[in-house]
Amino acid sequence: MVTDNPDDTADRQSKLVATKRAWAREGRLLTGAAPSPERPRLPPGQRLVSNWPVLDLGIQPDVPLAQWALTVDGLVDHPFTWSWADFQDQPAFSDVSDIHCVTSWSRYDNHWQGVSARHIVETARPQADAAHVILHSHDGYITNLSLSVFDDADVLLATAWEGKPLAREHGGPVRLVVPKVYFWKSAKWIRRIQFTNDDMPGFWEVRGYHNEGDPWTEQRYG
């Protein structure tokens, strides 16, 4: 259930998109620093914060757990849909990782709990021609990853942060966490994971953002 006024939400989203497109055209925040032979913990152009800023498209979907479901489909041998109870029955996974947002802030040592992306991959069994993963969210947001980036040891579908259930404003009840790329790739309010052969650039990727989003080489814009 979404309680935001549709007109206000559309206006906020329009202003946000216009601002971010302008950033992309201007190359805002790009330092042009040469890649370091030893990758530093803090990527170029980033600043450390201790809080966790909230960024979204003006919609924060309220998804009751009784109605929540995750569908995994596309080029897989075992497509499936999990209810919240099914999701809770999966092997628990914990990880500590850093967040790097394209808007220039980073936050160190975030403690996550949830289900690993590798467990999703092992359960779905992608077919040989699957090369990309498309993430679909309850607010209509879409983003894309290569299968190799999604199928990494530190990627998870998080249900908890710092020992507490993931707040709605941060993508709860379940969001993706992909630490090695800018955080717009870590889709909030996840509802579907689609394995494909063809790439499918998502919401920000078609609006001037980079298709891959590596923070250490400043892949902010494409």
The token pair that represents 150 in the structure block: 């999604």
Helix (H, G, I), strand (E, B) or coil at 123: helix
Tell me: the pLDDT tens digits for 54-99? 989 889 999 999 999 999 999 999 999 999 999 999 999 999 999 9
1 inside domain: no
Confidence of residue 140 (pLDDT cuts 50, 70, 90): very high
Of 185, 189, 182, the closest CA to residue 167 belongs to 189
Please give the full DSSP string across 159-203, using - where no structure is assigned: EEETTEEPPGGGTTT-EEE-TTS-GGGS-SSEEEEEEESS----T
* CA-to-CA separations, 123 to 31, 139, 158, in angstroms, rounded: 41, 26, 17
Distance (Å, whole) CA 130 – CA 150: 12
222 inside domain: no
Tell me: the pLDDT tens digits for 141-198? 999 999 999 999 999 999 999 999 999 999 999 999 999 999 999 999 999 999 999 9
118 inside domain: yes
181 inside domain: yes
Whole-model pTM?
Answer: 0.87
Range of the domain at 199: 6-217
The token pair that represents 113 in the structure block: 């709990």
182 inside domain: yes
Tell me: the pLDDT tens digits for 5-37? 555 556 656 666 677 567 667 676 778 776 666
CATH classification at residue 24: 3.90.420.10
Span 101-130, average pLDDT: 98
Q: How many distinct structural domains can be found in the chain?
A: 1
Angle, CA 45 vertex, CA 43 and CA 47 arms, to 5° = 80
196 inside domain: yes
Span 100-121, average pLDDT: 98
The token pair that represents 103 in the structure block: 């808007």
Question: Where do we find the tokens 């289900």?
Answer: 115
Partnered with residue 99 across adjacent β-strands are 107
Identify the pLDDT of residue 2. 40
Partnered with residue 72 across adjacent β-strands are 80, 193
Distance (Å, whole) CA 136 – CA 139: 9
